[in-house]
Structure 1
Amino acid sequence: MAKKGNSKKDKDAKKQRALLKQQKQSTKSSNKEQKLSKKFNDDSESEDEDLDTILQNFKKEQEQYHKITATYISKPPVRNNGCMVATQQELVIFGGEALVNDKLQFYNDLLVYNPKKNLWRQYFSQNSPNNRSSAAILYHPNYNQCLLFGGEFSSPKQQQFYHYKDTWVLNCSNKEWEKLDFPKSMKLPQGRSGAKFSYWKNYAILFGGFKDTGVETVYLQDCWVFDMLERTWKEIEFPKNSPTPDARSGCSLIPFDDGMVLYGGYTKVKTTKKNISKGKILNDLWILKNFTANDLNKVRWEKKRKQGVQPSPRCGTSWVSHKGRGVLFGGVFDYEETEESLESEFFNDLYVYSQDINRWYNLKLRKSKNKSNNSKDLAKSEKGKTIQERDMELENILNSILEKNNISLGDGNEEDDNEINKKMRQLDLESDEDEEEGDEELEDGSATADSIKKYEPRELNNFPHSRYNASTAVLGDNLYIYSGLWEMGDKEFAIDSFYSIDLNKLDTVKSYWEDLGDIIKAERDGIEDSDEEFEYEDEDDEEDDDDEDDEETAIDTLEAADEEDEEDLDEGYEFPDERPWLPHPKPFENLRAFYIRTGAEFLQWIINSKTSSLNHKLLKTKSFDLCESRWYERREEVRIMEDKFEEEFGVSGIEVIEKDVSVKPAGASKRR
């Protein structure tokens, strides 16, 4: 029998070990929450630089630039956690962070990529936001402006942190920044990192994020609206009994007709073990709706039941909007989180969420095959027409549909008609000749675009390497993926890479550049966890038993999600039709052909709905949007049918011949 004295000594020793573990977990959690877990080998006795001094030095450095200085570059300097959005014709990246010589460096340059020219430009200006990462950014198409809020900055050794709470507007035409000043009486969002933006009409909507108070990390669930026209902030306050999402950071937001959709994120929850917090990955889905009431007090959250082939639980995903759908890439799931270690699974799969029918689909790459002669002939026939001829053809079809339904065309507005024609032009899946654009003159007299090395894309047969916190944006029908992070053990790897995926064809991934050398070496050799000195033999420790239970629970959750995905995969690829009353696209029928064939039915459906009071221009737009949504909604099912045709008949294009049912032959009878 053990003596009491020895028993007490053992308990004290366990308490010391538990305290040491708690301190280590707190440090590790803080690093993860800040998304800055670079694991420096710093000298603890060396002094860190003062934040105020660093920011003052940044300000002096900016004074050397002209108002706006632009330079062509071959590719962006390596960075992560920058802000990337797509404007009308370009990709825009602001800020970010990188580990340089064992010190964390932040950026405040503006990077612009032109896909037509395959050229990058780097902009500096005297009046630009301070260096930062993990800020919230939004491009608003109605104003051709980017809105930037918040973000984080730290001293090189991460001993001091700062969260911004400033608001900036970028004019996308001339790349000029403007810092917004507000009256002292106006209530403003507090500084934060990891928040997300979406938009509805003239509103920009901000949700979530986190803030490090120096004592703890606070996750936020407040929702703010910025009026792009009035340039004012207002917080949306929900009734106490109204359901709301949990506080979180790193979530995903995308716009839809009546508001926005929220998915996933990361937060911390208290455990029963001496107030220790543990990470929690959220994979819930919410809709913020009722914006059409034009009263922010009526806006409400609604939790949605997920359907279809869903992504497994994960955080650090990248979710962007594409023609009424949400396209999700990558992410990470922490399935073993103890005081000594954190092991994770990283993803590189692609999922699509259809907002109209509240359903998830998994996207796979197709095998790229040569088109048949029949398909080529059809493409030549269609491409032989000028843009003006195709626009006129579509316009005549639309007007004839409206006239048949007794909708007055009224006085045409040339500006509105041009917008409609521009939208119709996007129906072509075969690209037209790019408009010639001359090289811009750069204020600093730098080298022309011709002297800059271009990274020509090469085709990959698989999706990019698994990662989290990748920067993604959709321009046209192309999904662009830039940068990202991957871990093994306690070591973090920044992935310097840039890709694009055609979301219509899904036949290949274009890689402009990628540096996976360190990752491949780590996967081959493995990396030992540097925390071995904190491992103890305390099999009888109840806390360790709790950790094992938590670990088993997390693994069971992931396995259950995988099993559920497999079941959904079997059922989901039957592709149940949530809207069978709408026309269905046919194999090898592109969006333009589908709209020409079925536009009358979509327009009639819109007219019969509550939107019949709209004028003829809005009716055209609504009918096209519905057609486009339907085409993408059934795209995966049609794609499988196309693959079957290719395998069985060796064709990749079939001319659809419509039977004229308006004239029935004599003696024809109904057939059931």
Structure 2
Amino acid sequence: MGKKGKREKKGKGAEKTAAKMERKVSRRAKKEEEDLEAMIAEFQSLDAKKTQVIESSCPPPSPRLNGSLSAHPEKDELILFGGEYFNGQKTYLYNELYIYNIRKNSWSKVEIPNPPPRRCAHQAAVVPTAGGQLWVFGGEFASPNGEQFYHYKDLWVLHLATKTWEQIKASGGPSGRSGHRMVACKRQLIIFGGFHESARDYIYYNDVYAFNLDCFTWNKLAPSGIGPAPRSGCQMATTPEGSIIIYGGYSKQGPKSEKRKRRRGRQAEAEGAGDEEMEKQSPQGPVEIVREVVAEDGTVMTIKQVISGPAEEKERSESEEEEEDGALGQQVEPCPRSNAMLAVKHGVLYVYGGMFEVGDRQFTLSDLYSIDLHKMEEWKVLVEMDPKAQEWLEESESDEEGDDMEGAEGGEEEEESSEEESEDEEGEEQHPSVQPDEKHADYLSRTEQYWIKLARSNMGPDAKEKKVVKVAHAMAKTFYEDSL
């Protein structure tokens, strides 16, 4: 055989290898999605037990980041929904709804039947229609070990006057994503950007969609001119004239890194800062942040902010601290953080939670600050951080190498009441139990119809039968493995 024939044979061999790898990656991505769908359906089956609205006073929410904080359009209230918490070994996702009363400086938890599935890195927007509505789109669900991600493309509305959740099903909307941005503008919800990650791909978006709040239809927009490059974690706001401003964001190319850096990179995507920048802003010493703003007349204004970290603060003498306090009074301000939740009401900015890093450790916050944007004089501490709420468990090799579905019962706050925990236990007991020494195949054969019925009830009547069966099998497998 000549050299040409050998090259052709070698080329075909490479093509076959590539095709084989592509099929393998596709199967892995499909399995990951099915496993996560099973976990989501399991949590939804627990949420489905709630049949009435229960509103009760409560302490401030547990530490979290990547949730949404929205100002009620008609009341002096802030609405906190969703978010995530990571303790070094395990990821918890929430779909809880909290209300903060600005005048009373108090929190209440509102349990409403049939809420959206647990998520973080979603977007929320409020409109004053019918006593106020909170609209929620997209976001993601993460496996307990933080290695697998399911991106939502669902749209929900919370009717604030009646305290009811409603899922809005309309075709032609954006693909599943998180880290995107959404604003309400002229009776429309405008969505831009975001990203999607799976075992198969890692995609950033710069597409623009509009959802009409009057006729409930999606429309993909094609703005003229040169638009922003694909990104996530940008800032997006409307102007009084009805224009939309997009600033900054994050986009990263290259192979995926190990778990801890991968998590930090994903968190940066929601905030708009990469690993390198986050390392620079790690609070080990003074940090100078420089931003340039171009004014209308073309002049460039440079803004510098210096943040003192613990290392520098230790070096300051007591006399310097006393002199500063005497001249300016006791100053308070939020510590450096990322992925915090922000809302503005009556010209006052509220900042809740977020994440603060010290070296390899990540501390999730639950404090609440406010500052008057008209005066810009001082920060007010509305809720102090509770040191007892902090927990950090070091990663171990067994944690990283363990089954992706380990800890599938996670997602609940560790400090939840015993009553809620007992409800979860009751929910698990209602599933067909695994008999002693029963093999998975035998268990699936015996209980298959039960799981198919449960999957169907959570996926809706429009779901394809083949998809329902796959999700049902994944749910059965998850429950079987957790019962061993």
TM-score (structure 2 length as normaliser):
0.59
Distance 1:351 1:194, change over 3 A: same
Identify the match of residue 162 of structure 1 among 150, 155, 165: 150
Are positions 1:83 and 2:71 aligned together?
Answer: no
1:70/1:122 contact within 8 Å kept: yes
Cα offset for 1:98?
Answer: 1.1
Which of 1 and 2 has higher RCO (CA within 8 Å, sep 6+)? 2
Distance 1:460 1:110, change over 3 A: farther
Whether contact under 8 Å (2:148, 2:198) holds in the other structure is no
Q: Deviations over 1:556-603 (max 9, x none)?
A: xxxxxxxxxxxxxxxxxxxxxxxxxxxxxxxxxxxxxxxxxxxxxxxx
**1:483, distance to aligned residue in structure 2 (A):** 0.5
Shift of 1:482: 0.3
Determine if the alignment matches structure 1 residue 220 to structure 2 residue 205: yes
Identify the residue that residue 499 of structure 1 maps to in structure 2: 369
Task: Write out aligned runs for 1:354-393 (5 A).
Answer: none
SS at match of 2:37: helix
Pick which of 486-495 and 112-121 moved more.
486-495
* Cα distance between partner residues in 2 of 1:505 and 1:493: 31
**Structure 1 gap segments, 5+ residues each:** 1-46, 272-277, 282-313, 318-330, 365-458, 523-527, 532-672
- The match for 2:41 is 56
SS in 2 for 1:265: coil
Distance 2:96 2:301 in 1: 37
Question: What are the equivalent positions in structure 2 for 1:642-657 lying under 5 Å apart?
Answer: none
Tell me if the contact between 2:88 and 2:362 (Cα under 8 Å) persists in the aligned partners: no
Seen in structure 2, the aligned counterparts of structure 1 residues 476 and 352 have a Cα distance that, compared at 3 Å, is farther
- Structure 1 residue 201 and structure 2 residue 186: aligned? yes
Could you tell me which residue of structure 2 aligns to residue 106 of structure 1?
93
CA contact (8 A) 1:255 1:261 kept: yes
Counterpart secondary structure, 1:515? coil
CA 1:485/1:101 → structure 2, altered by over 3 Å: closer, same or farther?
Answer: closer
2:229 aligns with: 246
Match of 1:483 in 2: 353
Give yes or no for the alignment of 1:264 onto 2:251: no
CA distance in 2 between partners of 1:360 and 1:175 (Å)? 46
* Shift in Å, 1:489: 3.0
- Report the CA distance shift for 1:129/1:220 in structure 2 as closer, same or farther (over 3 A): same
- Superposition deviation, residue 111 in structure 1: 0.9
- Write the letter of the residue equivalent to 2:180: A
**Cross-structure match for 1:310:** none
Counterparts of 2:179 and 2:246, CA distance in 1: 14
Distance 2:301 2:78 in 1: 27
Question: Conserved in 1, the CA contact under 8 Å of 2:354 and 2:366?
Answer: yes
CA 1:353/1:265 → structure 2, altered by over 3 Å: closer, same or farther?
same
Percent same amino acid among aligned pairs?
A: 32
Residue 230 of structure 1 deviates from its aligned partner by 1.1
Go from structure 1 to structure 2 and tell me whether the alpha carbon gap of 1:521 and 1:217 turns closer, same or farther (over 3 Å shift). Answer: closer
Following superposition, the deviation at residue 259 of structure 1 comes to 1.7
Deviation at 1:509, TM superposition (A): 1.2
Change in CA separation of 1:218 and 1:460 when aligned onto 2, cut-off 3 Å = farther
Contact persistence 2:112–2:163 (CA under 8 A): no
Structure whose alpha-carbon radius of gyration is higher? 1
Matched pairs, number: 329
- Number of the residue aligned with 1:557: none
**Given residue 267 of structure 1, which amino acid in structure 2 is its aligned partner?**
S
Unaligned ranges ≥5, structure 2: 1-31, 256-261, 306-328, 398-484
Q: 1:363 and 1:79, CA in 2 relative to 1: closer, same or farther beyond 3 A?
A: same
Q: Distance between the aligned counterparts of 2:45 and 2:99, measured in 1?
A: 24
- After superposition, the CA RMSD in angstroms is 4.2
After superposition, residues 581-592 of structure 1 pair within 5 angstroms as: none
Using the alignment, how far apart are the partners of 2:96 and 2:40 within structure 1?
A: 15
Seen in structure 2, the aligned counterparts of structure 1 residues 194 and 315 have a Cα distance that, compared at 3 Å, is closer
Q: TM-score, normalised by structure 1?
A: 0.43
Q: What is the Cα deviation at residue 192 of structure 1?
A: 0.3
Structure-2 change in CA distance of 1:521 and 1:223 (3 Å): closer
SS of 2:126 mapped into structure 1: strand
Pick the aligned partner of 1:471 from 341, 344, 356: 341
Q: 1:57 to 1:260 in 2, by over 3 A?
A: same
Aligned to 2:444: none
Check the 8 A contact 2:88/2:395 in 1, yes or no: no
User: Quick one: distance in 1 between partners of 2:102 and 2:304?
Assistant: 24
